[in-house]
């Protein structure tokens, strides 16, 4: 009988290994919440009607590469000229720490080819991460301050920008269930305001 004991022990070990339950992967509900809030079509029509110093701008943000993570194609344009967007980006949304989230920003190669493609996000399956370039230092770091409410900003001088004589850009963002408030501004090397909304951020109300 003793000669069979090692064989029985081996069989029991193999059986137990096969029947071990796999460790449960915990779903990040807060990250999922943030990513969902950022999706959709928005515009600043209401704000533009109230205050003529603001333009009516359209903002479209739709998920792409759903099997690769939390990626969004982002397109901004004057609502009256949506076939000529002035900004096209890809955002990657991740958890940065126990209490923060990051929205990294990428530039597209040949972005003119992607105008209006938010209507058919599957078209982005024809490209990959190697076809986009990270804008280093321009990621937005966000905090969840309440259910369906996130607030964040870029580093004060980390996002390099040469647009209209600026040296760096700064973005402040608030993401809510029915709107996104975004304040993008450019500053010169002395910290003087160069471009962007002067009084406060643009209020993009969700329209879908």
The first and second tokens of residue 151, run together, are: 């607030």
Residue 65 to residues 36, 62, 88, 156, 192: CA-CA distances in angstroms? 15, 10, 16, 31, 39
Confidence of residue 26 (pLDDT cuts 50, 70, 90): confident
**pLDDT per residue as tens digits for the range 71-105:** 999 999 999 999 999 999 999 999 999 999 999 99
Answer whether residue 184 shows pLDDT above 80. yes
Higher pLDDT, 25 or 102: 102
Domains and CATH numbers, the chain: 27-206 (2.40.128.590)
pLDDT of 8 = 40
pTM of the entire predicted model: 0.86
Judge whether 54 and 48 are in contact, CB under 8 Å. Answer: yes
Average the pLDDT over 16-45 and give the result: 81
Find where tokens 């076809």 sit.
Answer: 131
Which 3 state secondary structure label does DSSP give 173?
A: strand
pLDDT of 208 = 80
**pLDDT per residue as tens digits for the range 170-182:** 999 999 999 999 9
């Amino acid at each position: 009988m003793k000669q069979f004991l090692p064989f029985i022990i081996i069989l029991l070990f193999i059986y137990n290994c096969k029947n071990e339950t796999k460790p449960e992967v915990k779903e990040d509900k807060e990250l999922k919440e943030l990513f969902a809030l950022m999706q959709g079509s928005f515009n600043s029509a209401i704000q533009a009607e109230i205050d003529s110093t603001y333009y009516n701008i359209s903002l479209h943000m739709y998920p792409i590469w759903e099997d690769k993570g939390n990626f969004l194609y982002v397109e901004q344009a004057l609502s009256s000229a949506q076939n000529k967007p002035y900004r096209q980006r890809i955002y990657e949304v991740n958890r940065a720490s126990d209490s923060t989230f990051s929205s990294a920003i990428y530039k597209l190669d040949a972005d003119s080819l992607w105008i209006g493609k938010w209507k058919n996000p599957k078209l982005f399956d024809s490209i990959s991460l190697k076809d986009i370039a990270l804008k280093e230092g321009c990621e937005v770091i966000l905090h969840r301050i309440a259910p369906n409410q996130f607030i964040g900003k870029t580093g004060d001088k980390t996002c390099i920008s040469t647009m209209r004589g600026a040296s760096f850009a700064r973005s402040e963002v608030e993401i809510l269930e029915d709107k996104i408030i975004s304040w993008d501004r450019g500053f010169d090397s002395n910290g003087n305001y160069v471009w962007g909304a002067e009084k406060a951020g643009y209020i993009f109300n969700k329209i879908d």
